[in-house]
Structure 1
Amino acid sequence: MKLLLALGLAALATAQIPIPKREVGFVYNSGSPMAPVHLDFYIDQICPDSKQAWPTILKLADTYGPSVLQLTTHLFPLPYHRNSFYASKGSHIVNQQTKGANTYLWIQTVYSNIDSLTNAVTLNLSDTQIIDKYAAIASGVGVPVATFKSLILDDTIEMDTRVEWKYCCTRGVAATPTFMLNDILVAADPSWTVAQWKQVIDPLLGFHASKRQMSTRTCPAGVKQCEYLPGKVECCKTGEFCIPNVGCRC
């Protein structure tokens, strides 16, 4: 019996995550796959912090342009946001029905309606009523109500949404928003401005970073102060060097 249990657990541990039919995520503004900087933006559509970061990240992508920075948005619906999975399914529906033209408009519109989609506000609503809310939003971005309601139950849409969530898990995502530059996690804050992001990205492009907004933290006399990310400062020990985007290291 113990052997069977062990074999069962081993099978679960090595289970193959479904391989998607296309690359996961939604690319903004036809960002070039050959762009020198790739920014992966992991969001929950009912997450206030994701909403806060959303306009800045889009402005950042516009600032560099699609040939320099490819922005890809990934949907990671958190289980404690009751209505988030439907929002993510809606993104896949709109992406399919508008051939990607209105996907970002849909996400923006959901954020504009976030106050009516929270757990507290929808506590006494049925799933059918919540789907009706999303169908009404979809009708404003080019997807008829009847089409949306039909596709919200579609097996392909369901699987695409699940696979994207599982993909985010494989990347170690556990909260939203999460940011990765060229596949490396960035300890960014949702309140970061475009100027703060440029302090991280410009050096990757060989540009001289703009003057940093130094933290109020100060190091003892004779100890090197290392601002490795905007607002993140370490005091380097003897023999350590300040490495951009990393911090004090030997």
Structure 2
Amino acid sequence: MEARRQCHRVSPLLLVLLAVVITAGRCGAQVPVPARTDGFVYGGQAWAPAWGEAVVVEAFFDPLCPDSRDAWPPLRRAADHFGARRVAVVVHLFPLPYHSSSFIACRSIHAVHKLNASAAYPLLEKFFKYQEGYYNTPTYTKTRAAVVAKIANNLVAPVIGEANLAAYRAGFNDSRSDQAARISFKFGCARGVTGTPYYFVNGIPLVDLDFPLDYDKWVSTLDPLVGKM
């Protein structure tokens, strides 16, 4: 229960990290501008038709956060209900610092997305399904290399196939996957994200709604917006 409460609660450690990021920015350290906008569009839609032509829901998830795990199915169901032409869902990865293997998980998803864009969501859902095996306590005595190997063999291989594991490992060890995961975190920090799940609808943060958001709440929130399109 404690781990679950921490996901959406503002963490003092995270606030310190946010202050460091903001301070660094004020000292002239520009956050790197990525070649593509951060985030994975659900359903394989491109960014171009999403903005301005659909209600855009942005969700910040940590692959190892229990609240993120529970929040995804109702949002996915609502997205399927409305369809991508009316509601575009974009997931941003936000590795929380108190989930010690979260950055590895996020980096894995970025590496897999580079190999096969359609595999990003299946891998995210694998992390959600088996995340308890990668919590802090089960991985406390394991080396980073052991955690990466377990993720590759147990989660990545079933999604992309064992024949592609060598390409995944090369992508995981490439500095570009590291940079992509860092940018995901900085992107969230720049927008004031302090925990997961965290949502924006058409760029406006959802801060006054009761959490967690179930399917009916998503439909009642999005339906009036879709009706105005």
Q: How many residues align?
A: 198
Which residue does the alignment assign to 1:4?
A: none
Please list, as runs of the form range in 1=range in 2, the aligned pairs for 1:64-83 lying within 5 A after superposition.
64-83=82-101
**Larger helix percent:** 2
Which residue does the alignment assign to 2:128?
A: 111
Please list, as runs of the form range in 1=range in 2, the aligned pairs for 1:69-148 lying within 5 A after superposition.
69-98=87-116, 100-136=117-153, 137-142=155-160, 144-148=164-168
TM-score, length of structure 1 as denominator length? 0.75
Q: Is the 8 A contact 1:61 1:69 kept in 2?
A: yes
- Deviation of the 1:200 alpha carbon: 1.4
Q: Which has the larger radius of gyration?
A: 1
Q: Distance in 2 between matches of 1:79 and 1:93?
A: 20
Which residue does the alignment assign to 1:29?
A: 43
Residues 189/112 of structure 1: CA separation in 2 closer, same or farther (3 Å cut): farther
Match among 45, 54, 60 for residue 42 of structure 1: 60
Please, what is the CA RMSD of the aligned residues?
Answer: 1.7
- What amino acid is the match of 1:166? K
* Structure 1: 5+ residue stretches without partners: 1-8, 208-250
Indicate the SS of the match to 1:70. Answer: strand
Q: Is the 8 A contact 2:25 2:31 kept in 1?
A: no
**Larger strand percent:** 1
1:148-176 per-position Cα deviation (integer Å, ceiling 9, x unaligned) = 22222211111111112111111110100
Please list, as runs of the form range in 1=range in 2, the aligned pairs for 1:201-240 lying within 5 A after superposition.
201-206=222-227
- What amino acid is the match of 2:111? I
Q: Is the 8 A contact 1:42 1:75 kept in 2?
A: yes
- Deviation of the 1:203 alpha carbon: 1.5
Which residue does the alignment assign to 1:149?
A: 169
Which residue does the alignment assign to 1:198?
A: 219
Name the structure, 1 or 2, with higher relative contact order (CA <8 Å, separation 6+): 2
Which residue does the alignment assign to 1:13?
A: 27
Indicate the SS of the match to 1:205. Answer: helix
Q: Is the 8 A contact 1:42 1:178 kept in 2?
A: yes
Which residue does the alignment assign to 1:3?
A: none
Indicate the SS of the match to 1:180. Answer: strand
Q: Is the 8 A contact 1:46 1:118 kept in 2?
A: yes
- Deviation of the 1:11 alpha carbon: 7.2
Percentage of identical aligned residues: 30
Which residue does the alignment assign to 2:181?
A: 161
- What amino acid is the match of 2:35? K
- Deviation of the 1:147 alpha carbon: 2.5
Q: Distance in 2 between matches of 1:14 and 1:110?
A: 36
Q: Distance in 2 between matches of 1:13 and 1:171?
A: 19
Indicate the SS of the match to 1:124. Answer: coil
Q: Distance in 2 between matches of 1:103 and 1:23?
A: 15
Which residue does the alignment assign to 1:220?
A: none
Q: Distance in 1 between matches of 2:57 and 2:26?
A: 32
Match among 167, 184, 190 for residue 204 of structure 2: 184
- Deviation of the 1:134 alpha carbon: 1.1
TM-score, length of structure 2 as denominator length? 0.81
- Deviation of the 1:47 alpha carbon: 0.2
